[in-house]
Structure 1
Amino acid sequence: MHPLVVIPVFNEENTIESLINELLALGFKDILIIDDASEDSSIEIAKKLKVETISLPFNMGTWSAIRVGFKYALDKDYEQVITIDADGQHIPNDIPKLLNGLRKGFDIVIGACPQRANMAKKVCWWLFRKFSGLKINDFTSGFRAYSKSAFSKFSTYNGANLEYQDVGVLIMAKKFGLKIGEVPVEMKSRTWGKSKVFPSLKSILRYFLITFTIIMVKGR
């Protein structure tokens, strides 16, 4: 069975059409758009391309949107879920690398591109590795593959309602005993907009404080 490709979307009208068309051209027909209360035409573009869509009533954040996709995957009996960002940075051609990681026995496979990180990200990632015990090179990549064992746990565990899906989710995966792997991928430069995770120094500090709290409470 083909994997379900879950794309959380919030105001991505400039990139969503090309991403969907690229996925379809590669043969990934099972695509689910989770529209996180976008204020632009993202959902209309997705519907025009005739892919499955779910619209959330208000902005819930990326991880909550992904969990909706996990529940859909369980209901439709998928065995694998790919999550990919809608901003055009991830390269769909790399999806087979992630799926191959699942075939090797990992429950979560991260498409890692650590060389894209600026100094602020590198410092954050170093601190996350030190305090969480996770040997991960790229903590903030949303380009991931999940086995059914992994996405079924996260779809039903209410404690997984985390503001940041990257580090917090990996910490919970570790506690669940799930096997986490990484595969190297390339990522495109952002062509418009700015990072929703690290748009400013203030956001970096806020991100670190929230994630550090998660690590202290749940990580060890």
Structure 2
Amino acid sequence: MTGCDPSERKPQISGGGPRVCVLIPALNEAKSIADVLSDVRLHLDAELVVIDDASTDETAAIAAGCGAVVLSLPIRLGAWGAMRTGFRYVRTRRFDAVVTMDADGQHRSQDLARLVRPVLEGRADVVIGACTERGNWGRRMAWRLFRWLSGLAVSDLTSGFRVYSPAAVDVILGDDTALLDYQDIGVLLAMRKAGLRLTEVPVSMCHRRQGASRVYATWLHVMHYMAITVVLCLAKFDVTQRGGVRLGEDG
């Protein structure tokens, strides 16, 4: 699919209801972005924002044709740099909840309503769409190590399918997260340091429609990610000693 049916461009953010924004960073996702945007619209009334990380294909044009707000970066900032660009856009527009999801079709829009509910009801500041089934034995061992080092009682530490409250957005745009590479453990540690409430909602995830994980693409990437994350966990260890994250589970 390379475009959207104009009839699918429903008005976003209906008057009087909660204001929700969905941030979707994208790098050369022309083959999947239209389907992802159409699926989200079927399940959630939200403003859709695509952060195009200097793609060399038609990602930006297709997303704009689907009615999304497109933030086009002149140079490639990477996954977290692109995401922070989206959060800066969000903070000026007073949304009640901000969703982050991938552009490759992994995250199921059918789960969106369950994910945003705890934030909109004031029961959580961060909701993590947790899918532990996607991890092979190596990834699960890494998660176990990171949980032990960080003290985070979170089953899926690396899920990018999340929802944030306005207070959480302020933390994301603070100094503690400025130098991160990914939206994972470092962000959760910053949330705990700020005393915010985290919860997990079980979700299923689909296979990527194209491409591969930036973290697990090669063994070199894996080793780099492991080293950086271990150092990050140890650097934040003084925070973990002062109290655990307030974590619940919402179905």
Q: Under a length normalisation based on structure 1, what TM-score does the superposition of the two structures give?
A: 0.95
Equivalent of 2:224 in 199, 206, 211: 206
2:36 match = 19
2:209 match = 191
Residue 29 of structure 1, CA deviation: 4.0
Q: Does 1:137 align with 2:155?
A: yes
Residue 148 of structure 1, CA deviation: 0.7
2:68 match = 51
Residue 200 of structure 1, CA deviation: 2.1
1:5 match = 22
Q: Identity over aligned residues, as a percent?
A: 37
Matches within 5 A, 1:139-158: 139-155=157-173, 157-158=174-175
Residue 153 of structure 1, CA deviation: 2.2
Equivalent of 2:193 in 139, 150, 175: 175
Matches within 5 A, 1:62-211: 62-102=79-119, 103=121, 105-155=123-173, 157-161=174-178, 162-211=180-229
Q: Distance in 1 between matches of 2:56 and 2:142?
A: 31
Which amino acid is 1:73 matched to?
V
Q: Distance in 1 between matches of 2:91 and 2:209?
A: 34
Q: Any gaps of 5 or more consecutive residues in structure 2?
A: 1-17, 239-251
8 Å CA contact 1:5–1:28 kept in 2: the answer is no
Higher share in helix: 1
Aligned length: 219
Residue 215 of structure 1, CA deviation: 1.1
Which amino acid is 1:135 matched to?
A
Residue 127 of structure 1, CA deviation: 0.5
Q: Any gaps of 5 or more consecutive residues in structure 1?
A: none
Residue 86 of structure 1, CA deviation: 0.5
Q: Under a length normalisation based on structure 2, what TM-score does the superposition of the two structures give?
A: 0.83
Residue 185 of structure 1, CA deviation: 0.4
Q: Distance in 1 between matches of 2:189 and 2:90?
A: 22
Q: Which has the higher Rg, Structure 1 or Structure 2?
A: 2
Q: Which runs of 4+ in 1 moved over 2 A?
A: 25-29
8 Å CA contact 2:20–2:99 kept in 1: the answer is yes
- For the aligned residue pairs, the C-alpha RMSD in angstroms reads 1.3
Which amino acid is 1:184 matched to?
P
Residue 192 of structure 1, CA deviation: 2.0
Q: Distance in 2 between matches of 1:214 and 1:165?
A: 13
Q: Distance in 2 between matches of 1:56 and 1:50?
A: 18
Residue 122 of structure 1, CA deviation: 0.5
Q: 1:169 to 1:56 in 2, by over 3 A?
A: same
SS state at 1:109 partner: strand
Which amino acid is 2:129 matched to?
G
1:34 match = 51
8 Å CA contact 1:13–1:40 kept in 2: the answer is yes
| 1:132-164 CA distance string (max 9 Å, x none) | 000111111110000111012212x13312112
